[in-house]
């Protein structure tokens, strides 16, 4: 070790933290600073939590150079998005996934996560900047350069889980140094990575309201005009499995106690009786859309290859136990309901790869990723084509081949 670094060649990351430190992803080094985030539980028992601060240390001395907090304080920009003084006790909005950095610009791009609590926000009214945002920060000073919030007032566990992808593209004859933030919502938000200006317009569209007591919900959410979503948005009865009439009838029976709707339909309270509502079926679910592995980008062709997951998720709430917590509601089962006979509940594909030309923002092709349950006894006689596997696929791109790994069963496809 280098004894001049920190104390005896190391830095205790719990020393400068307001709470215990843990991490799930590596730091990033930009010039002479090493920048790191942290891992935090998404569903704490109290509304009071520490903010998920980003910290930067001098690579030579180990000295703390700067700290940037995703929860603004009094007088800071963004504090107006925390109503009723909720910034004083709310926390999280941490970066648990990987950073990206532009060494030439000296900028680091922070994909922040959900605030406390990730499925009930009645204790934190407002849009909650800078949670669920892509934030560009000067790596030397820690000053925020620009930001964009991908989810207002998150209630869906839609934390940013993918490292931002830096790319140089040409749009309508204009060369752009771009950054793309893929999301669990199956959206590819695309910005000029210097200015933060959207490459294509992003519009605020109305979304459903909430009937959960005490909840505050944003009336709109941001939708890019390009690229279009790379996976399914929302779920209706028409989306349920229908390989046979019998399977269709069973799927309708399974889905009957759930609330179905468009994307951003909020979580709902799970009843105690067998005939009560079991929650909201959310699609994309809390595992995507896009997943940790991100996507593969070809800098010569401008093609972006995105693996994604199509799996409905039960977004249900239960009353908080006052003996153990001070939140009014907390997450319930968070189940991924099986469909009839162990098949998926919805129509395929269940995992896919989408190719998008980032010079035009247009989808070029989509294919199911893997066989999926095509050999299930209930449907094997139908001789179905590949249905897609809902796994966390990873990509490796060469000049002429795209390799995609899969988790269950383990295999690599080209």
CATH code of the domain in which 367 resides: 2.140.10.10
189, exposed or middle or buried, with CB in 10 Å at 0-12, 13-18, 19+?
buried
Structure confidence by residue, pLDDT tens digits, 162-218:
999 999 999 999 999 999 999 999 999 999 999 999 999 999 999 999 999 999 999
Residue 10, domain member (yes or no): no
Which pLDDT value is given to residue 10? Answer: 86
Which pLDDT value is given to residue 411? Answer: 56
Which pLDDT value is given to residue 412? Answer: 56
Separation CA 26–CA 269 (nearest Å):
37
Domain count, the chain: 1
**Res. 40 pLDDT band, cuts 50 70 90:** confident
**Percentage of residues in the chain with pLDDT exceeding 90?**
82
**Res. 21 pLDDT band, cuts 50 70 90:** low
**Of 292 and 111, the one with more pLDDT:** 111
Residue 9, domain member (yes or no): no
Residue 14, domain member (yes or no): no
Domain hosting residue 387, numbered range: 28-413
Structure confidence by residue, pLDDT tens digits, 275-315:
889 999 999 999 889 988 899 999 999 999 999 999 999 99
Which pLDDT value is given to residue 310? Answer: 94
pLDDT at 383 over 90: yes
Which pLDDT value is given to residue 191? Answer: 99
pLDDT at 41 over 80: no
Residue 276, domain member (yes or no): yes
Q: What is the mean pLDDT of the chain?
A: 93
**Of 103 and 4, the one with more pLDDT:** 103
**Res. 111 pLDDT band, cuts 50 70 90:** very high
Residue 231, domain member (yes or no): yes
**Res. 24 pLDDT band, cuts 50 70 90:** confident
Residue 12, domain member (yes or no): no
Residue 16, domain member (yes or no): no
Average pLDDT over residues 10-25: 74
Which pLDDT value is given to residue 22? Answer: 78
Which pLDDT value is given to residue 17? Answer: 64
Average pLDDT over residues 77-93: 97
Residue 1, domain member (yes or no): no
């Amino acid at each position: 070790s280098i004894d001049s670094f920190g104390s005896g060649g190391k830095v205790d990351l719990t020393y400068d933290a307001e709470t215990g430190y843990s991490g799930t992803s590596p730091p990033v080094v930009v010039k002479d600073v090493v920048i790191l985030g942290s891992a935090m539980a998404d569903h704490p028992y109290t509304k009071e939590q520490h903010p998920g601060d980003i910290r930067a240390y001098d690579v030579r001395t180990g000295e703390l150079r700067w700290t940037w907090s995703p929860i603004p304080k009094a007088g800071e920009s963004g504090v107006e998005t925390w109503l009723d003084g909720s910034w004083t006790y709310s926390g999280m909005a941490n970066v648990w996934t990987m950073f990206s950095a532009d060494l030439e610009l000296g900028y680091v791009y922070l994909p922040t996560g959900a605030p406390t609590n990730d499925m009930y926000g009645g204790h934190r009214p407002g849009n909650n900047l800078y949670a669920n945002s892509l934030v560009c920060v000067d790596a030397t000073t820690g000053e925020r350069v620009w930001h964009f919030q991908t989810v207002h007032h998150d209630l869906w566990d839609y934390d940013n889980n993918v490292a931002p992808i830096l790319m140089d593209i040409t749009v309508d004859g204009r060369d752009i140094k771009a950054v793309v933030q893929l999301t669990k919502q199956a959206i590819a938000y695309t910005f000029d990575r210097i200015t933060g200006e959207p490459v294509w317009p992003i519009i605020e569209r109305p979304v459903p309201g909430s009937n959960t007591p005490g909840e505050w919900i944003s009336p709109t959410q941001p939708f890019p005009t390009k690229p279009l979503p790379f996976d399914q948005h929302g779920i209706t009865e028409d989306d349920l499995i229908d390989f046979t009439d019998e399977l269709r009838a069973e799927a309708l029976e399974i889905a009957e106690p759930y609330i179905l709707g468009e994307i951003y339909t909020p979580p709902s309270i799970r009843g105690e009786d067998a005939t009560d509502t079991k929650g909201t079926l959310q699609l994309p679910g809390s595992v995507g859309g896009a997943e940790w592995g991100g996507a593969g980008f070809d800098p010569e062709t401008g093609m972006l290859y995105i693996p994604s997951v199509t799996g409905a998720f039960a977004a249900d709430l239960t009353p908080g136990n006052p003996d153990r917590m001070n939140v009014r509601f907390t997450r319930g089962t968070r189940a991924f309901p099986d469909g009839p006979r162990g098949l998926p509940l919805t129509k395929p594909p269940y995992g896919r790869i989408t190719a998008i030309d980032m010079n035009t923002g247009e989808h070029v092709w989509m294919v199911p990723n893997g066989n999926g349950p095509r050999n299930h006894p209930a449907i094997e006689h139908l001789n179905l084509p590949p249905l897609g596997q809902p796994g966390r696929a990873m990509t490796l791109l060469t000049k002429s081949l795209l390799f995609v790994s899969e988790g269950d069963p383990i295999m690599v496809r080209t």
